[in-house]
Chains A and B, each alone.
Chain A
Amino acid sequence: MLEAFLVSVITMATPILLAALGELLVEESGVVNIGIEGAMLSGAFAALTIAYFSGSAGLGLIGAIAAGVALNAIFAVLVVNLAVNQVVTGTAVSILALGLTGVFYRQLFGVTGKAFMVAPIAKIPLGPLARIPLLGPVLFDHNALVYVTFLLVPVLWYVISRTRYGLRLRACGERPEAADALGLGVIAIRWQALLVSGALTGLAGAFLTLAYANTFVENISAGRGFVALSVVIVGRWNSWGLAAASLLFGAAMALQFGLQALGTVVPYQLFLALPYALTLVVLAGFGGQAAAPSALGEPYRRQ
């Protein structure tokens, strides 16, 4: 019972954390990407479609990366090169992805309502570690995406705070005009962050279709991209904080399934609303976005 719950927490937290880590990179460079929901959805769709027709989960993952990158590239042209409003662009990208995946899904799979299932990505038990009671199944018996996601937490923390590249990234989010005067190339750095983030977000979507649902339904991301957005805020722009927030929100989602099955008096919707409500409370309590990069969300255009 506890084991099943904890495994479920990890499963729920993984796609959110993966997308949130991508968003963290983008926000450190000074851009806020609300289109993350759309990139996730596109990744989910591309992964399932390609895996279904090719029979290869690996190709599906590559397709998901390509889809996420493509969607973020559209966003980058408008936001980084043309310096238009990031919020409205991100919203439009999400709507566009919702529409495109819906149209292509019906076109490719018909409207029969038949589920198009794929085999889940193989789990990789980590030898004897996976046989430890409780801890083994919870931590050491997952597919590669889960391991990669949690491995990215220390990696991104290190890259952002301890490397030259991370310093340059933060410089762009702190004061783009000064970064430009030092020849750092704000436009190139923001593009790179968005492309890497697109790949991570696409993979997060692939996790939903290839490791969780094993099929695609319209709007399968169901707001997880927005949860990732709040994970970045609640995690105070720190990848360890992001991991903690993702696990917390993952637990709320896992709990909700349990409650729905048990039929308790506590409405399960309360737990579904928790990530969003908590984000509001954290933002209100911490006095706004004091931990956010200074230039976050401001369009930057060279003279």
Chain B
Amino acid sequence: MLSSIAKPFAALALAAVLISIVLAALGASPFGVFAALGGGAFGSWYACVDTLVKSTPLIFTGLAVSIAFSGALWNIGADGQLTIGAIAAAAVGTHLENFPHAIAIVIVLAAGALGGAIWGGVAGWLRARRDVNEVISTIMLNFVAVQMLSWMVHGPLMEPSRAYPTSSPIASAAQLEFYFAPSRLNLGMLLAVVLAVACYSLLFNTSAGFELRAMGRNRRAATFFGIRIPALTVWVMALSGALAGLGGAVQVSAISHRLYEKLSPGWGFEAIAVALVARLNPLAVIPAALLFGALDNGSQAMQRTQGISPELVQVIQGLVILIILAFDTPAWNGLRENIFGASSDDAAAVPPVAEMPDA
């Protein structure tokens, strides 16, 4: 029987095999490509540190997706929530020149979290009060966020010379500093790890987290036992959005210092792969995010030395998600029961979308 830990690894291994086939079709050496990926991600001290830096936004968005998916709320909108968080952080951050460093940082991060929370909360409210499927609404809100970002950097937040579609840099007081310069390691990584622990605690050590998980596993039963689904839906989506928005704020505060179009290379979508590899466990999101951060980081070296474009990383993400879903499907359960006896400790990571129709 595939244990819950072995499953993601088996999925990754199978993805590697499939990728090798794609690479062979492209006429590239799979071994060379994987070696280049690994070297680019971990080949030197700076490569390792940069992998950490690249993983940071994935931890935030991975947590956002894990929390929402745990409640069977299919938040496909972490990217938009992160974007709105970044906009809010930058909008506030440019006005904090005379604030003490610590306070400016807190304000910038809070603005990002609030922006993301609003963006996620809207989708939650639409689901709870207007019966609008959160999948559709979060996808739509992603695109609205993209256009809003574009408008901001061409309009209200455009830098004064009006030569480039970017915002002015945020005040230096609001910038998270680097450690071990010239590496870009910053406090954001630590914050992400602390939040992962907090999310784990919330899910598994609190009454609210229990209600969230109960809603995710069986919404009908949760309703019968007085769990207030509408309110919980709004709060969970707002929390999920806040986590993603915080990721956007950290990115602006520590790395980019300004807004520009295409700020996120798709962290909100990559987060789905991260969350599934982590089986929605917030603590496991950290290593899963490191894995995908390493892939992102290594992809540039892969392009330099092997001539394979960095989009290969997206192929890996897509395959990993599909393989994990295929492993997790209830369709196998009957088979597994026949071969191994009833599987009691091997519940699927992803709650079902809906209950099965009556037998």
Contacts and interface: CB of A to CB of B under 8 A. Distances in A.
Is there any pair of Cβ atoms, one from A and one from B, under 8 angstroms apart in the complex? yes
Interface string B315-348: 1111101100110111100000000000000000
Given A102-B311, A288-B131, A91 B356 contact: no
Contacts of A218: 311
B308 interface: yes
Among A101, A233, A277, A283, the most chain B Cβ lie within 10 Å of the Cβ of: A283
Among B137, B307, B311, B352, the most chain A Cβ lie within 10 Å of the Cβ of: B311
Contact of B354 (A111, A230, A269, A297): A297
Contacts of B26: 103-104, 107
B84 interface: no
B141 A88 contact: no
Among A100, A230, A289, the most chain B Cβ lie within 10 Å of the Cβ of: A100
Contact of B137 (A85, A86, A100, A283): A283
Interface stretch (A4-12, A74-82, A196-204): A74-82
B126 A283 contact: yes
A226 interface: yes
Contacts of A280: 126, 132, 137, 140-141, 144
Nearest to A284: B130
Contacts of B354: 297-299
A88 B272 contact: yes
A279 B328 contact: no
A185 interface: no
Contact of A103 (B27, B151, B269, B312): B312
B205 to A, nearest CB: 27
Contacts of B130: 283-284, 287-288
Contact of A91 (B143, B312, B321): B321
A281 to B, nearest CB: 10
A74 B318 CA distance: 12
Interface in A107-137: 107, 111
B321 A92 contact: yes
Contact of A96 (B155, B322, B358): B322
A249 B311 CA distance: 30
B202 interface: no
Nearest to A283: B132
A271 B184 CA distance: 38
A251 to B, nearest CB: 17
Contacts of B266: 95
A95 B265 CA distance: 12
Interface in A49-95: 74, 78, 81-89, 91-95
B232 interface: no
Nearest to A101: B311
A45 B40 CA distance: 29
B140 A92 contact: no
A42 B128 CA distance: 36
Nearest to B26: A107
A88 to B, nearest CB: 6
A226 B147 CA distance: 15
Interface residues of A, number: 61
B315 A96 contact: yes
B140 A230 contact: yes
Nearest to A175: B357
A277 B144 contact: yes
Interface string B264-276: 0010011011001
A86 B314 contact: no
Nearest to B359: A303
B326 to A, nearest CB: 6
B76 interface: yes
B318 A96 contact: yes
B136 A99 contact: no
Given A106-B311, A107-B309, A280-B141, A91 B353 contact: no
A270 B151 contact: yes
B313 to A, nearest CB: 7
Nearest to B152: A269
B303 to A, nearest CB: 8
A111 B131 contact: no
A88 B321 contact: yes
A85 B325 contact: yes
A270 B143 CA distance: 11
B103 to A, nearest CB: 33
A98 interface: yes
B118 to A, nearest CB: 14
B352 A85 contact: yes
B139 interface: yes
Contact of A267 (B139, B154, B313): B154
A78 B332 CA distance: 12
Nearest to A107: B26
A276 B357 contact: no
B135 interface: yes
Contact of B331 (A101, A233, A301): A301
Given A84-B329, A102-B309, A176 B154 contact: no
A91 B126 contact: no
Contacts of B312: 99, 103
A125 to B, nearest CB: 36
Contact of A288 (B132, B307, B352): B132
Given A301-B330, A303-B359, 5 more contacts: A88-B325, A95-B273, A99-B313, A280-B137, A284-B130
What 4 A-B pairs are tightest by C-beta distance, nearest first? A96-B318, A102-B311, A99-B314, A288-B131
22 contacts: A78-B322, A78-B329, A82-B329, A83-B331, A85-B350, A89-B321, A92-B325, A95-B270, A95-B321, A96-B315, A98-B311, A101-B311, A177-B357, A177-B358, A269-B150, A273-B147, A276-B147, A280-B132, A283-B133, A284-B132, A289-B131, A297-B135
